[in-house]
Structure 1
Amino acid sequence: MTNILAKSLAVLVTVLTMGCAQTTETDTAQSRLTMVISGDAAILSNDNALLGWHPTMFTIHTDSEQEEAEIQRHMRASLTKIMQQKGYRFANSNESANVLIGFGLALESQMSDAEILERAGLVAGLSTHGVDDKFEKGSVMVALFSPMQQQPVWRVLAQGFTNPNAKLTDREQRFDELALKMLHNIPVK
């Protein structure tokens, strides 16, 4: 009797779970995210940490050069907002930053995983298997630098899917959500 009851319960749970787990392909593709983190964010443990933007690491590789400046502006705004919410401050024009933030963004059509690995030393390895062609894999990297070092002391690389035909304004909220996830491990001051 116990065995029959256990089997019946297992079938019921399976049926209920299948009914609750239905998602559209759009939801599935856009919710897939892979991240890899490397380094040590201890550079931020200094109470006097002043942030600034890396002078050269703010590269955007998309199909549209017109969008690149807008994406760069929005990435800076997202990263600034999140870091300030965590208690960090950006250096004023009369102060020197002692932690530099850099970022890069690329669509797979513009930069392959092999190129990302060669340039960044990281690859998240998100698979495109089973994803509709209307979505494109995108990669975003955020890195922290000491002004005295060429290599980042901490970095995170995320890969997910985007609809490159969607309006940029429709994608901005997703940028904010992604940046928040990427900077989750940065300690609050």
Structure 2
Amino acid sequence: MINKQWYLWISLVAVLVSGCATNETSIDPVPSRITMVTSGDLDLISSSAKSFGWHPTMFTVRSANKLNDAELVRHMRQSITKIMEAKGYHYVESDESPSILVGFGMALESEMSDKEIMKRAGLVAGLSTKGVDDDYEKGSVLVALFSPIRIQPVWKVLAQGFTDTDKPIEDREQRFDELTTMMLNSVPNHVM
């Protein structure tokens, strides 16, 4: 009986060890670490809020010409619009008095340090770059929601992840959309 249990334990350990070895050899070479931090209170956005528009001044990209800044702004607006519409909000121009104003910023680590992000946004996600290949750079994305009657954002989220700055933006759009979806996940759905 002891030999049978011993054999069972050895077999179980062998299966687990071989499973671990298989997982280690199939690690995705693209760093997929993402950290996020939020601040504020979404309850400060009126439950009757139905529309959103762009904040008049908060849409910044700091990429030192490594990326096409105008294309990043366009894609970020497109991504946020898609998510907000899926949540039941509709986009309106600023002269149509949106219920929510949305602002955003994006920066590469080479252009804006965590210290500077903390100073400007009041948040820092603190994603470590330890062990990350030089082909990738840490990027930070901030999305802030404003009530039209408040100067300060009522809610904001900062996410940090890694991007391959040598790839065209079109090759990164899906990951970018996934990140924006995660960032805006806690924004309540508008009940029609």
TM-score (norm 2): 0.88
Cα deviation code 1:93-141 (max 9, x no counterpart): 6520121100000000000000000000100000000101010000001
The residue that corresponds to 2:150 in the other structure is 149
Structure 1 58/139 Cα, relative in aligned 2: closer, same or farther at 3 Å? same
Cα RMSD for the two superposed structures:
2.0
Point out the more displaced range, 17-26 or 108-117. Answer: 17-26
The residue that corresponds to 1:20 in the other structure is 23
Return the alpha-carbon distance in structure 2 between the equivalents of residues 186 and 45 of structure 1. Answer: 12
Unaligned runs of 5+ in 2: none
Return the alpha-carbon distance in structure 2 between the equivalents of residues 140 and 103 of structure 1. Answer: 7
**Do 1:117 and 1:123's aligned partners in 2 also have CA atoms closer than 8 Å?**
yes
Point out the more displaced range, 60-69 or 40-49. Answer: 40-49
Q: Report deviation, 1:41.
A: 1.5
User: How do 1:97-136 residues align onto structure 2 when only pairs under 5 Å count?
Assistant: 97-136=98-137
Point out the more displaced range, 131-140 or 90-99. Answer: 90-99
Point out the more displaced range, 65-74 or 101-110. Answer: 65-74
1:5 aligns with 2:28: no
Point out the more displaced range, 149-158 or 71-80. Answer: 149-158
Return the alpha-carbon distance in structure 1 between the equivalents of residues 95 and 122 of structure 2. Answer: 34
Return the alpha-carbon distance in structure 2 between the equivalents of residues 153 and 172 of structure 1. Answer: 28
Letter in 1 for 2:48: D
**Do 2:101 and 2:146's aligned partners in 1 also have CA atoms closer than 8 Å?**
yes
Unaligned runs of 5+ in 1: none
**Do 2:101 and 2:148's aligned partners in 1 also have CA atoms closer than 8 Å?**
yes
Sequence identity of aligned pairs in percent? 52
The residue that corresponds to 2:183 in the other structure is 182
Return the alpha-carbon distance in structure 2 between the equivalents of residues 134 and 52 of structure 1. Answer: 36
Q: Report deviation, 1:24.
A: 4.5
Letter in 2 for 1:79: I
Return the alpha-carbon distance in structure 1 between the equivalents of residues 94 and 111 of structure 2. Answer: 35
Q: Report deviation, 1:163.
A: 0.6
Structure 1 7/188 Cα, relative in aligned 2: closer, same or farther at 3 Å? farther
Return the alpha-carbon distance in structure 2 between the equivalents of residues 44 and 112 of structure 1. Answer: 31
**Count of residue pairs brought into register by the alignment:** 187
Structure 1 59/17 Cα, relative in aligned 2: closer, same or farther at 3 Å? same
Point out 4+ residue stretches in structure 1 off by more than 4 angstroms.
none
Point out the more displaced range, 111-120 or 60-69. Answer: 60-69
The residue that corresponds to 1:75 in the other structure is 76
Structure 1 152/102 Cα, relative in aligned 2: closer, same or farther at 3 Å? same
